[in-house]
Amino acid sequence: MINENYKAMLGKKSVIRQLSEFATERGKEIGYDNVFDFSLGNPSVAAPEEFNNAMKALMDEKTAMELHGYSPTLGNPEFKKAVADSLNRRFGMTYKPSDIFPTSGAAGAIAHALRAVTVPGDEVMVFAPFFPEYIPYVTGTGAKITVVPADTKAFQINFEKFDKLLNPNVKAVLINTPNNPTGVVYSEETIKKLAAKLEEKSAEYGFNIYLISDEPYREIIFDGVDNPYPAKYYKYTLTCYSFSKSLSLPGERIGYVACNPADPDSETIVAMCGQISRGTGHNCPASIIQQACAQVIDMTSDLSVYEKNMNLLYDELVKLGFEVVKPGGTFYIFPKALEDDAVAFSQKALKYDLVLVPADSFDCPGYFRMAYCIETEKVERSLANLRKFVETEYPNR
């Protein structure tokens, strides 16, 4: 008998998906080159050549068994070591390979982290605006999601609202920095304040509230921006990572959960992740991908294009009078719409072949997201359309 709950999910097409389909259709009419599609957060730069070279070398040097045989339940030892060493080197941490659990991207990482530190019925807090997939990620575990309203001034954390909503049912807090959809990086002040609040409430409630830190955009940081590593500031942090953005490998489904070695339970949590996998059918990322990633652990694609695109858009948006916080990283920017209804605003933009995502689905109505992981040349060409859109539709601003 078919599970009606999953069937019911099929009806709901995401706004992003609908807009992306519009862009494809419109592209058939006027050429996709002339559609300024800012809808999808898909890396637009190629994976570094070294990744393919590492894959080929592995196939030449390792036996089929070493390469394609089962990985240990808790992951390939070389990959775990490469991740731990890299984090230690870069962030002054003391991870051991046994603190690292390889996963199929950040989605897999969050799925494991959530299950490790909550039980069905618990509450998980997220901060608006947030990646809409957090809803199925959290509710899929049986936990409930509580949204802390946005700090629309700086898109850091609205601590006043956070404080009011915290309660003893909250077992985990899920953050995303650098942030999708705002492009903002949490400052050291924010992270310190968050850590202090979690420590205070953990003491008050008599258990440790876990911080699940989703960091797929960690490597896309713009000039002069400081990107503090959250686990350094709070002991009970599970760091979730994906190589989708930094190495442009979203299809290869590789990431990890890094459990803070300062937490006495860190290795237990890694072992628990192995048990969690048995029930969800995840069973670790592909063996050859783990082994190849280990060899290019500190490399990235050429990420400089994202900063170039951001600056072009940011300058134009400011010139046009948009209220917008300058992104510190990622490939997103998050301006305030020129009318209260961002859905109506984005609909009007379509007439100018501008595909903008209203932020209602990110739980932040009145704003919109632009994903500028597209060719710089196209960003440049889009500026005239943006200008024409604003001047025509909002002449009296």
- The H-or-E segment that residue 60 falls in is helix 49-61
Regarding 266 and contact with its own copies (CB under 8 A), the answer is no
Residue in the block written with tokens 């949590």: 269
User: Contacts with its own copies in 206-225 (CB under 8 A)?
Assistant: 207-210
Binding mask 123-142 for its own copies (x = CB under 8 A): ----------x--xx-xxx-
Among 93, 116, 195, 337, binds its own copies (CB under 8 A): 116
In terms of CB distance, is 285 or 328 closer to its own copies? 285
Q: Which stretch binds its own copies (CB under 8 A): 29-37, 269-277, 329-337, 354-362?
A: 269-277
Amino acid at residue number 260: N
Q: Residue count at the site for its own copies (CB under 8 A)?
A: 77
Regarding 57 and contact with its own copies (CB under 8 A), the answer is no
C-beta separation of 241 from 215 below 8 A: yes
Binding mask 157-176 for its own copies (x = CB under 8 A): --------------x-----
Among 23, 87, 101, 118, binds its own copies (CB under 8 A): 118
Q: Which stretch binds its own copies (CB under 8 A): 146-154, 177-185, 201-209, 325-333?
A: 201-209
Regarding 270 and contact with its own copies (CB under 8 A), the answer is no
Regarding 272 and contact with its own copies (CB under 8 A), the answer is yes
**Minimum distance of its own copies from residue 231's CB (angstroms):** 17
**Distance separating alpha carbons of residues 374 and 313, to the nearest angstrom:** 12
In terms of CB distance, is 4 or 223 closer to its own copies? 4
- The H-or-E segment that residue 357 falls in is strand 357-358
What token pair was written down for 278?
């048995």
Q: Which stretch binds its own copies (CB under 8 A): 1-9, 178-186, 302-310, 342-350?
A: 1-9
In terms of CB distance, is 55 or 297 closer to its own copies? 55
Cβ neighbors of 89 (< 8 A, separation 6 or more) are 298
C-beta separation of 246 from 239 below 8 A: no
In terms of CB distance, is 136 or 321 closer to its own copies? 136
In terms of CB distance, is 117 or 354 closer to its own copies? 117
Regarding 121 and contact with its own copies (CB under 8 A), the answer is no
Regarding 104 and contact with its own copies (CB under 8 A), the answer is yes
Annotate 299-348 with DSSP letters as a single string. Answer: ----THHHHHHHHHHHHHHHHTT---PPPSBTTEE-PBPSSS-HHHHHHH
User: Contacts with its own copies in 63-102 (CB under 8 A)?
Assistant: 63-65, 67-71
Regarding 147 and contact with its own copies (CB under 8 A), the answer is no
Number of other residues whose CB lies within 10 A of the CB of residue 48: 18
**Distance separating alpha carbons of residues 43 and 376, to the nearest angstrom:** 13
**Minimum distance of its own copies from residue 364's CB (angstroms):** 21
CA distances from 162 to 92, 127, 148, 236, 388 (A): 29, 8, 6, 18, 40
**Minimum distance of its own copies from residue 201's CB (angstroms):** 12
Regarding 194 and contact with its own copies (CB under 8 A), the answer is no
What token pair was written down for 374?
């597209």
Annotate 135-175 with DSSP letters as a single string. Answer: HHHHHTTT-EEEEEPP-TTTSS--HHHHHHH--TTEEEEEE
Eight-class DSSP state of 71: P
